A = this chain, B = another copy of it.
Amino acid sequence: MSAVDEHHQVVDRLAGKIIGIIGGTGPQGRGLARRFADSGLQVVIGSRSADRAEAAAAELGSSVRGATNEDCAETADIVLVTVPWEGHRSQVEALAKELAGKVVVDCVNPLAFDKMGPFAPSVPEGSAAEQAQMLLADATVVAAFHHLSAVVLLDDEVASLDADVMVVGDDREATNLVQDLAGRIAGCRGVYAGRLRNAGQVEALTANLIAINKRYKAHASLRVTDI
């Protein structure tokens, strides 16, 4: 048994938990919803429009429901945030009441583009995840799921991903839970990768993966070796 898998054996931390995905109608949100649902989890995707969320959920199968972002945050036990960076601050701030007491998984990559390609803009709080934690004093924020390709997540032909998920956060119980959640995606491992103050470079590295994808015409992800 590898060191990564070891803690999975103790107990199913995800039993009965509902997974919510704020901004879940985008490619990343739908891709994650689909893989979590495939693993038997109950998933609610949220959108500003309940209609749009329900339409996207219907395409993803019977264990995925659609709701407003507010209802999604209220209903779910673990709430992923997959909104565009531009809307991150306002959308997270607006859900502070619903997210109180919950594990919030920030999956957002602050990225900007110009004629030379992608780059990581400066984030005053250090990272999207640290910004979320500052806005959500009563929630436990974990950063994860930055390096998975939405195209691959949504591809019916891909039964199993070749990717690890770096899980970054300060609360051991919460990072363990999110590692287990990552492990529910076929082929993935959730790897603890440091404290929340080290989230910025994990988020920003997505700019490098985009450059790799362009050069090699790939959907690159990362594996952590020797664990």
Contact = CB atoms under 8 A, between A and B. Distances in A.
A contact face: mostly helix, strand, loop, or mixed: mixed
A15 interface: no
Given A3-B217, A192-B212, A224-B212, A204 B207 contact: no
Interface stretch (A42-50, A98-106, A161-169): A161-169
Given A198-B120, A202-B205, A192 B218 contact: no
A218 B120 CA distance: 29
A23 interface: no
A8 interface: no
Contacts of A159: none
Contacts of A1: none
Given A208-B166, A222-B222, A3 B201 contact: no
